[in-house]
Chains A and B, each alone.
Chain A
Amino acid sequence: MKQNEKKVSWISFLLVLAFLGLVFWLDQIIKPTNKMYMLMTVLQKGSVYALAAVSMNLLNGYTGLFSLGHAGFMLIGAYTYAIFTIPSSARDTVYQYFDAAIRISFPELLSNSMGSAGTVLGVAIAVIFAGLAAAFFGYLIGLPVLRLKSDYLAIATLGFAEIIRAVFQWQKLGPITNGSNLLKNFMRTSLFKLKVGDTKLVFSTFVPVLIATLSIIVIVKLVNSTYGRAFKAIRDDEVAAEAMGINLAKHKMISFTVSSFFAGVSGAMMAMVLSIAQASNFKAAMTYEILLMVVLGGIGSTSGSVIGSFLFVAASEWWLRGLDSGKFLGIEAPGIFRNGFRLVVFSVIIMIVVLFFRKGIMGEREISDLFREKKKAKGAAR
C-alpha cells in the first residue's frame, strides 16, 4: 500500500510537470492576435479563480468555517502587489491626485542590481508580500470572528470585507491606496517576457499558472498533514474534536490565516492578469462567485474546486460567449441572445447543481481517488 501511495505521488508530480511544460509551450506559440488566445485568457483567469476557490475550500470545505470574506482578502493582496510593483517612472501618473507615500518597487529595485533575474525575484517577493499582508489582516480579523458559529461567522466576515473595501477607498489614505481611483501601470502579465540570447520567451500565462500550481500543492500538503486531519475533525464535529484534544481556537486560526494568505496571493494574481486594481471590483458578489465555483466542483474537494473554477471561467468567458452576441450553436436569435443572457443561463445551471447535484462534480473525492477506485473495482472483479 505504502509503495502504491508513493507511485501515485510520483505520477501526479510528473503530470504537474508535464502540464506546466505544456502551458509554457502554448505561451510561446499562441500570440494575442491568435484566435485561440481565448484559451490563454481562460488559463490565466482560471488559475486566479482556482487558487481563490481552493483557498476558500480550505476554510469552508475542510474546516467547516463558512466564511464570506474572501473578496476582502483578495483586495488586500491585489493592492499590496500593485503598490509594490509600480515603477517610479509611472508613479506620478498613477497617483494623479495624491503624493505617493510608498516609493518602493521591488522588481525595479532588484533589477537595478541583478538584471532580469531581479525583476523575477521582485515580482515573487511582491506576491509573497501580498499574501503576508492578507494573512496579517486575516489574523487580526480572525481574533474576534472565529468565536462565532455558522451564519454569524458568514455575516461577520462579509461585514469585514465591506469594511476593508471602504477603508481602501477612503480619500485620506489616497497617498497609499490612491483613494477611489484605480491602480495601474504595475508589473502585469503582458510584461512578463524575457530575452534569452536571440529568442524572446513569453511567460504571460505561465507565471499565473505556476503560482497557482505551487500554492495549490502547498494547500494539498497542508490538508493531508495532521493539521488537515484536525481541520476535518473540526468540520465533522466540533465538540468531538475538542474532546479528542484538538485545540479548536488554534486550528481554526491556522486555517483562517492560511486561507487568507492564499486569497491574498490570488488577489495579487488577479491584479497582474487584469492589469488594474480597483477596490470597487472586490464586492461581496465576487465572494459569492468563488463560493459557487467551490460548490460546482464539490465542497471539500481540492481538485473539484480547480475543475469547478476552470469550468466556470471557461463557460462564462469562452463557451457561452455566443449567448451574449446573437449566435449560439448555429442558432441565430439576436432578440433573446443579447447582453447578459449568458449569465442567466449560467446561474440557472448553477441553481440546478445546487438543488439536485448537491455534491457537485467531485463530491468529497479527489482525482487521485478516482484512479484508486478503478483499481479496486478491477481487483474485486477478479
Chain B
Amino acid sequence: MGKTILPYIISGISVGGQYALIAIGYTMVYGILRLINFAHGDVFMVAGLMMVYMAAAMPLYIAIPLMIVLTVLLGFLIERVAYRPLRTAPRMSVMISAIGVSYLIQNLALYITGGLNKNYPSIPWISDRVHVLGLETSRVTIITPFLTLLLVVLLVLLINHTKIGMAMRAVSLNFETSQLMGIRINNVISATFIIGTFLAAVGSMLFFTNYPGVVPTSGAMPGLKAFVAAVFGGIGSIPGAVIGAFIIGVAESLIKGLDTILIVNGTITEQIGFATFSDAFTFVLLIIVLVFKPTGLFGEKTTDKV
C-alpha cells in the first residue's frame, strides 16, 4: 500500500513546489493591485519557450541567467504597458486587459512555434535520475521542494526586513495612504512584478524539466492552479500560497494515481477514470473554499465599505 502511494506523494510535493513558485506571483500582485494577473501563467510558458530557443543557441550557463533576466523584463513590461495606464480604471477593465495580454502572448507563441511541441532541453545534474527511498526519479523532483522553501524564506526575509519589503506591505494595506506617505507606488508595483516573474522563471525550469515539452497553452493550466492555490491559502498571504500549492500538488497527483492505488488495494477491480478529474478537483477545492471560507486559510478579513 505505502509502496504504491509513495511515488505519487513525492511527485505531488514536487509539482506543489512548482505551483508555489507561480502562486507567489499571483498572490503578491493581488495583494497590492487587487488584480488577477491572468497573464502570469503565460509568462511562465514564455520562460519555458525562451529556454528552448536559447539552449539551442548558447551554452546553458549563459542561457539560464539570460532566460531569467528576459522573463523578468517581460513581466516588468506587461505591467508597464498593459496595467499601469489603467491604474484609475475600474477593476474589471484591468482584469480584461490581463485576459487580453494572455490572449496576445498565447497567439504570439503560437505564431513563433507554429503550434508545434518544443522539446525542453535537459539540464545536466537536475534532470539526472536518482534513487530515493527505493524509487527511481529525476533529481529535480527531490530538489524542487527544498529550493522552493529556500526561495520563500528569502522572500519573507525581504518583505519583513528591507525597505522595499516594508513599502510593499504598506501599499498592500492601503494604496492611497502609502502614496501620501511618500512611497513611490509605481516602483513598488514594478518590484512586485519583477519578484513574481523571477520566481515563475525559476519555476518554469523545474516544471518543464519533468515534461516532454512546451506548447503555447502549457502555461494556462498551471497558471490557473497556482491561482487557486493562492486563493486556497488566502490571497495576499505568501505562506498561505505555498501551503495551498503543496496541498493542491499532492492532491492532484494522488487523484491521477487513484485508480492504480485502489486497484492494488483491492477496493475496486477496474479503472474508474479518476484521472480525468485531476484538473477539475483543483476547482472543486476552490469552490469549497470560496463558499465556506472565502478568505482562505490565512487570508485577512476584509469588510466592504459603502
* In contact, A291 and B276 (Cβ under 8 angstroms): no
The answer to whether B104 touches A351 (Cβ under 8 A) is yes
Given known contacts A166-B276, A351-B101, A355-B86, is B95 in contact with A340 (CB within 8 Å)? no
> With A155-B231, A285-B220 known to touch, is A162 a contact of B280 (CB < 8 Å)?
yes
B286 at the interface (CB under 8 A from A): yes
Q: Is A145 an interface residue (CB 8 A)?
A: yes
Q: Indicate if A159 sits at the interface (CB-CB under 8 A).
A: yes
Please report whether the interface of chain A is mostly helix, strand, loop or mixed according to DSSP: helix
Q: Digit string of B267-293 for contact with A (CB within 8 Å is 1, else 0)?
A: 000011100110110111011001100
A155, A166, A284 — most chain B CB neighbours (10 Å): A155
Of all chain A residues, which has the CB nearest B231?
A155
A351 and B82: CB pair below 8 A?
A: yes
Q: Is the CB of A339 within 8 A of B115?
A: yes
Total B residues in contact with A, Cβ cutoff 8 Å: 49
In the bound complex, do residue A284 and residue B220 qualify as a contact, i.e. CB atoms below 8 Å apart?
yes
Given known A159-B283, A347-B107, contact A150–B92 (CB-CB < 8 A) = yes
For residue A147, which residues in chain B have a CB less than 8 angstroms away from its CB?
291
Contact B92 A172 (CB under 8 A): no
Is B36 an interface position by the 8 A CB rule? yes
Interface size for chain A: under 10, 10 to 19, 20 to 34, or 35 or more residues? 35 or more
Q: Is the CB of A154 within 8 A of B36?
A: yes
Q: Which one of A150, A291, A343, A348 contacts B99 once the chains associate, using CB atoms below 8 Å?
A: A291
Task: Check if B228 sits within 8 Å of A159, measured CB to CB.
Answer: yes
Tell whether, in the assembled complex, residue A151 and residue B100 are in contact, meaning their CB atoms are under 8 Å apart.
Answer: no
Once the chains bind, are B287 and A66 in contact (CB under 8 Å)? no
Confirm or deny: B85 has a beta carbon within 8 angstroms of a beta carbon on chain A: yes
CA distance A279 to B153 in the complex (A): 42
Whether the pair B287, A156 counts as a contact (CB closer than 8 A) is yes
* A98-157 with Cβ < 8 A to chain B: 144-145, 147-148, 150-152, 154-156
Binding site for A on B (CB under 8 A): 34-36, 81-82, 85-86, 89, 91-93, 95-97, 99-104, 106-108, 110-111, 114-115, 217, 220, 224, 227-228, 231, 271-273, 276-277, 279-280, 282-284, 286-287, 290-291, 294, 306
27 A/B residue pairs, CB under 8 Å, sorted by A: A144-B287, A144-B290, A148-B290, A148-B294, A154-B36, A155-B228, A156-B287, A159-B284, A167-B280, A170-B277, A171-B273, A172-B273, A285-B106, A288-B102, A291-B96, A340-B107, A340-B110, A343-B110, A346-B107, A350-B100, A351-B82, A351-B97, A351-B104, A354-B96, A355-B81, A355-B97, A358-B93
